[in-house]
Structure 1
Amino acid sequence: MRGLIYMIMGLMFVSCTGRFKDLNTDNTGITDEDMQVDLNHLGIPLNVIQQGIYFNYDYGKGKNWPYQLMQNLSADMFSGYMHDYKPLNGGSHNSDYNLQDGWNGTLWENTYAYIMPQIKRLEDSTRLKYPAVYAVTEILKVEVMHRVSDYYGPVIYTSFGNKKMIYLPDSQQDVYYRFLDDLKTAVGILENHVNLAGYTPEFSRFDLLLDGKVESWIRFANSLRLRLAIRMAMANPDRARQEFVDAFADPHGFFEEPTQQVAVTTDNEYTNPLGEINRVWGEVYMNASMESILNGFDDPRREAFFEPCPDDVLLQDRDGRDSVRIPLKGQYRGIRQGTMFAHTLYSALSKIYVNVRTKPILMTAAEVWFLRAEAALRGWTTEDPGICYEQGIRCSFSQWQVPGVETYLQSDCRATDFEDAFTPGNNIKARCLVTPRWDDAASDEMKLERIITQKWLAVFPEGCEAWAEQRRTGYPRLFPVRYNNSRNGCVDMEKMIRRLNYPSSILDNDNGQYEMLVDALGGPDHAGTPLWWDTGRNF
């Protein structure tokens, strides 16, 4: 039956369109009878939505490359995690802020063409008859769309799929409030289904992210509430604090144990697109900022995150003879963003660990401990920020099954300067100022830098969340690009990229829609405009 679901999904993908006005029309040829077989009307949309968070579809044009464009060549790189070894576009592209619209519009276009229509379909069909499925749909909707909003800013959310086909944008402030309201609604519905005798949730057999239990989805929703509340800590401190406290007090809890995480299963047809790009295409390598911090901290997770360089490199002289040996074998080495390199020598550096069977991680208990640490630092709870911080590190080490956490917690190791393996002109002094050891006597700003730096390590390899938090706080302190080719210099090299501009397809096809989005943004539609929660200060 799962094979039938995937076959029908394939038909859906081919037929979808990116124009808002067409998204309410079902052109798949699937009959109502098809959708009712064996709960397909629930299973098909749920599969589409869950896989759509970490996009990996073949809708007639191939798999994996959509993810590369949607995330790997943007958030994964901008977060300081990864870099491609190839000199794409002649060496000038997103890496040096010469942003490629054909890449950067894909998250918006694919989400609205393939994922949001199925969310709307499921909302309409489950609201009354299958309330638990409706609640899970709302949680998934928030998980999908907060990522889109964190890329671009204002989005089409509350008016998507309305019968009048008038798609008014929500400002990021308004949509974040709606995200939180939707999560609270979902939790309220699911709480009515906890401990019901003989009850098996209709979504259980289609659950690709958790274990099919109502309680797990409540914990996921509450964890998301904590994440979003912290994100708006400086944009609206009072509401952020109240939202955090309310979610924190929910008796059903949130993620706390290392085994509690949200990850897309690869047990069936789904494969990890990052693994394909990495293992088959060979295009995912360590970022220089990762090298500086992991090597400097002598972090045991380094061996779980990346592979050491396989061999030394022999460079040839002008006569084509090997003349210079670059010692690399066994080292962990990365690529600095924005250097406009025109060679392929970086293929000798450290690849990421991910393969096609690796479950794509979306949220972990370790992240939640760091959310708690920041909340305690801000005085939102009575918890001790240092204890939460250390528990977050312990949780991360346990998740990755690496030893040495107690030694690491007492470490005063610091980030190392970056030395490019081949081009000394790319060398740069370390930027990260903190050590792993917690310091109660440090300033709040230094404590926050510790919390976010370790959260950045714990969130790996989920670049969307890492990039959002780095923009919000400025931590960890990443290396700036060496060359800044942003349009009209719109990106400050030290402040770094703040968002992606809206797809040109909106401007070309619906100028009125585009103007409403830019008006809701409250600034020019370029990569230097900060988002609502990006206030430029932390206290």
Structure 2
Amino acid sequence: MNKQYNYLLTIATVALLATGCTKDFKDYNKNPYGASNDDLLPDYGLVVGQLKEAQRSIYVYQPAWVTQLQQNLMGDVYSGYMMPPTPFRGNSNNMNYDLVDGWNLYVMSAAYSSPEASVMAPLSSVENITKTSAPDLYAMGKILKVEAMHRVSDIFGPIMYSKYKVRAEDGGYDYDSQQEAYNNFFKDLNEAITILTPLRAEKSTPTFTNADMVYGGSYAKWLQFANSLRLRLALRIVKADAAKAKNEGEAALANVGGLLKEAADNFSINIGATEHPLNTISGAWYDIRMGAPIESIMNGYKDPRLPKYFLPAKEAVVAGQYKGIRNGIDIDAKSRYQDYSALAELPSLLQLMPAAEAWFLKAEAALRGWTGAGNIRENYEDGIKTSFAQYGLHPDSALKYLNDAVSKPLPYTDPKAVTPGQNDIPNGSQWLSTITIQWEDADTFEKKLERIITQKWISTFPDGQEAWSEFRRTGYPKLFPVVINNSAGKISTNTFIRRINLPPDEYLTNPKGAQRAAATLGGPDNGGTRLWWDRP
């Protein structure tokens, strides 16, 4: 991955040019009453561009085929949200655990350097330029780096993070183990939160506003997101390091800036007039359709959000129904499932954390007894209400939904299966959840957790990467295993895929570093080995 380091010369040049930048952040931050955009942009225009490049690279949206490889044919499918009708590579591919290295390397290349995107290179430049001269921009860069790179770590495990660009004695480039990476994520978030907390009531500088593709320059909302992200990652590691999880989670809950609260707080990258890539992949290419698990759960719950997520099927035998495809099945031709439910049209916003998620994070934190988390039931119900509000649904429909103590996920049948009955999930199946919607204080810890995570999973749509991570951490919601497993025994059908192997290119271009990274896994470098935070 030597091409990752092509930015070094640029970074060095920028650092020299930056010597003329504003040195006193107090003066810099007097804006807008003093400096104008024209005053600041000669010095910080490059930083604005680099911060925007990083935001555009967390979830690459143009060209859409990069999105398809970076996330859609991986996290979106493994989450249970979606499934392609297309039998890629003769129907031996990621969907049935024959992992395609040529696809999956796009996660790594988008994070480090590719013609389409990059995260670490521009953000490293931003840090060098802004650490002392523009702390607000520095804080934004730190938050973006954590948001982008925790997703990469949650796919591969070890990543180049704190050691990025640092050459080892043997000439290789080293990775952080996933535990080291998470420790550094918390360190970076804490640094950003410390900077933004006293600024939360201030009007942002024009440069910060120009760089912000999410909140239009609101320090307060960036602080809310940083706290919410910290809580997300704290719960992510709760089985691996319970003490640190609690400390980090309670710090997030205690911060005066608070968490995301309402739909207007959603952390969603605004891509302007550009079409959402999933609209292209589903609506133009017909390459993705509804997944069977989300059909089972949302149809079973009579969920009013369902038409906001998917379109009714056009296939004659299920016309007008919301019909999904089960993962890892026999697909002989695209035409077999092409007319199952397509995705509803998405706005030009790349949702990476809805405010509803923050309420569900608080609900789980309260379930675990963390200080400052509030009431479990209230958080759970506020999460559902916030999600309903996001889609413009009437509050009464949310109340009706919350009071439903009967509805459960439905059995799944596939009338178009190549082998009749092979794809069905009947009543009584171990893979079919029996969880209901209404909160029950008398339920066990595990049942409460399943209820929280199931509703969080629904609200997180369409971000399959985050949903897949939470499924691996908790086992919820219950998903359906693949029917065809082409992993040659590397991945268990019943315990599902746990990660993606490091791309072979890493072993070719950085053999010593890749070997050291793989050694931190605690198992072979394949899709069956659990991540550090992924404990049974």
State how 1:138-217 maps to structure 2 within 5 Å.
Answer: 138-162=142-166, 167-196=173-202, 200=205, 202-217=207-222
Residue number in structure 1 paired with 2:389: 398
State how 1:363-374 maps to structure 2 within 5 Å.
Answer: 363-374=353-364
Partner of 1:289, secondary structure, is helix
Structure 2: which amino acid aligns with 1:349? Y
Say whether residues 1:519 and 2:519 are aligned partners.
yes
- CA distance, structure 2, for counterparts of residue 440 and residue 201 of structure 1: 48
Structure 2: which amino acid aligns with 1:426? N
- CA distance, structure 1, for counterparts of residue 196 and residue 15 of structure 2: 30
Range moving further from structure 2, 420-429 or 231-240: 420-429
Q: How far 1:23 moved relative to its partner?
A: 4.2
Say whether residues 1:416 and 2:416 are aligned partners.
no
State how 1:381-460 maps to structure 2 within 5 Å.
Answer: 381=371, 383-403=374-394, 404-411=397-404, 412-423=406-417, 424=420, 425-429=422-426, 431-460=432-461
- CA distance, structure 1, for counterparts of residue 139 and residue 383 of structure 2: 29
CA distances 1:121-165 after superposition (whole Å, capped 9, x unpaired): 111111111111001000000001000000000111001134878
- CA distance, structure 1, for counterparts of residue 141 and residue 211 of structure 2: 12
- CA distance, structure 2, for counterparts of residue 339 and residue 124 of structure 1: 49
Residue number in structure 1 paired with 2:322: 332
Residue number in structure 1 paired with 2:134: 130
Say whether residues 1:19 and 2:19 are aligned partners.
no
- CA distance, structure 1, for counterparts of residue 223 and residue 209 of structure 2: 14
Structure 2: which amino acid aligns with 1:110? A
Residue number in structure 1 paired with 2:47: 42
Partner of 2:270, secondary structure, is coil
- Tell me: CA distance 1:19–1:38, structure 2 relative to 1, closer, same or farther (3 Å): closer
Residue number in structure 1 paired with 2:331: 341
| Identical-pair percentage | 38
- Tell me: CA distance 1:516–1:201, structure 2 relative to 1, closer, same or farther (3 Å): farther
Unaligned ranges ≥5, structure 2 = 19-39
- CA distance, structure 2, for counterparts of residue 369 and residue 363 of structure 1: 11
Residue number in structure 1 paired with 2:529: 529
Structure 1: which amino acid aligns with 2:227? N
Structure 2: which amino acid aligns with 1:45? Q
- Give yes or no for contact 2:172–2:510 (8 Å, CA) kept in 1: no
Residue number in structure 2 paired with 1:288: 292
Q: How far 1:201 moved relative to its partner?
A: 5.2
Residue number in structure 2 paired with 1:225: 230
- CA distance, structure 2, for counterparts of residue 390 and residue 365 of structure 1: 13
- Give yes or no for contact 1:275–1:358 (8 Å, CA) kept in 2: no
- Give yes or no for contact 1:130–1:202 (8 Å, CA) kept in 2: no
Q: How far 1:421 moved relative to its partner?
A: 2.9
Structure 2: which amino acid aligns with 1:19? K
- CA distance, structure 2, for counterparts of residue 391 and residue 205 of structure 1: 33
Partner of 2:467, secondary structure, is helix
Residue number in structure 2 paired with 1:234: 239
- Give yes or no for contact 1:201–1:214 (8 Å, CA) kept in 2: no
Residue number in structure 2 paired with 1:12: none
Residue number in structure 2 paired with 1:69: 69
CA distances 1:192-223 after superposition (whole Å, capped 9, x unpaired): 43344x75252112211223111111111001
State how 1:79-94 maps to structure 2 within 5 Å.
Answer: 79-94=79-94
- CA distance, structure 2, for counterparts of residue 36 and residue 348 of structure 1: 50
Q: How far 1:511 moved relative to its partner?
A: 1.3
Partner of 1:148, secondary structure, is helix
- CA distance, structure 2, for counterparts of residue 30 and residue 158 of structure 1: 21
CA distances 1:359-417 after superposition (whole Å, capped 9, x unpaired): 11010110011111111111113622122111111111111122411111121111111
Unaligned ranges ≥5, structure 1 = 1-16, 58-62, 314-325
Structure 2: which amino acid aligns with 1:167? Y
Structure 1: which amino acid aligns with 2:403? Q
- Give yes or no for contact 1:75–1:467 (8 Å, CA) kept in 2: yes
- Tell me: CA distance 1:48–1:28, structure 2 relative to 1, closer, same or farther (3 Å): farther
Residue number in structure 1 paired with 2:342: 351
Partner of 2:352, secondary structure, is strand
- CA distance, structure 1, for counterparts of residue 166 and residue 8 of structure 2: 9
Partner of 2:353, secondary structure, is strand
Partner of 1:110, secondary structure, is helix
Structure 2: which amino acid aligns with 1:191? T
- CA distance, structure 2, for counterparts of residue 23 and residue 38 of structure 1: 19
Which 4+ residue blocks in structure 1 deviate beyond 6 angstroms?
Answer: 27-36
Partner of 1:529, secondary structure, is coil
Structure 1: which amino acid aligns with 2:287? E
- CA distance, structure 2, for counterparts of residue 27 and residue 188 of structure 1: 26
Structure 2: which amino acid aligns with 1:331? Q
- Give yes or no for contact 2:328–2:483 (8 Å, CA) kept in 1: yes
State how many pairs are aligned: 497
Partner of 2:264, secondary structure, is coil
- CA distance, structure 2, for counterparts of residue 383 and residue 219 of structure 1: 17
- Give yes or no for contact 2:357–2:459 (8 Å, CA) kept in 1: yes
- CA distance, structure 1, for counterparts of residue 208 and residue 300 of structure 2: 45
TM-score under structure 1 normalisation?
Answer: 0.88
Q: How far 1:31 moved relative to its partner?
A: 12
- CA distance, structure 1, for counterparts of residue 465 and residue 45 of structure 2: 31
- Tell me: CA distance 1:301–1:195, structure 2 relative to 1, closer, same or farther (3 Å): closer
CA distances 1:83-118 after superposition (whole Å, capped 9, x unpaired): 111111111211110111111111012211122111
- Give yes or no for contact 1:92–1:340 (8 Å, CA) kept in 2: no
